[in-house]
Structure 1
């Protein structure tokens, strides 16, 4: 068996940005579902937009804390953009899913 150090490493450019987008996609959908369950409003679009903004501000806050409170990490504007991209994808996903559900009724 070969030692782990002999295994070639694979470098995928900007993989961390994809991870940020995926995390905030899931994060936004989960917050929307939580808000939907907790707040009995007919206008769920406002709850969805609230979840997107919550995700965005959370991501900005984490980047600020990384740059201010750690010496091994830096804040990155492109991480914030990746976070926002994931949140927007979640917004569109939920809106399309709602439209499909509405059309099937």
Structure 2
């Protein structure tokens, strides 16, 4: 994936998450599945972390892959916490939820695990 394309995708996904998390809660359709919102949060941050890893891997090719994973994971966690703070203090229809932060972190963690497994298999295939 080209560097500019990966940046565009990562940035667009970031804006999509920001939009979805800050729109009025009434604008979001209610689906009667318990904790579905937590699964959605985990998915959003799984993709967020994945897209930023792809970009940083292209942008900083000489940087260790472990550092890129750690930075992308940290970025996802900080972004998730920031969104919760924005919901609490900058909207009137949303509120912060520590379980959303945990779901976000779970999604980011799963992305890192997938990359570690993928990278390990790729390394073994080269031997």
For Structure 1 versus Structure 2, the TM-score category normalised by the shorter chain is: 0.7 to 0.9
Matches within 5 A, 1:1-105: 11-105=32-126
Aligned residues: 97
**Structure 1 SS opposite 2:34:** coil
Q: If the length of structure 1 is used for normalisation, what is the TM-score? A: 0.88
TM-score scaled to structure 2, two decimals? 0.73
Which one has the largest radius of gyration?
1
Stretches of structure 2 lacking an aligned partner (at least 5 in a row): 1-29
RMSD: 1.3
Distance in 2 (CA, whole Å) between partners of 1:38 and 1:55 is 18
Alpha-carbon displacement from aligned partner over 1:51-86 (angstroms, at most 9, x marks no partner): 000000000000000000111000100000000000
State how far apart, in whole Å, the 2-side matches of 1:10 and 1:75 are: 20
Q: Structure 1: which 4+ aligned runs deviate by more than 2 Å? A: none
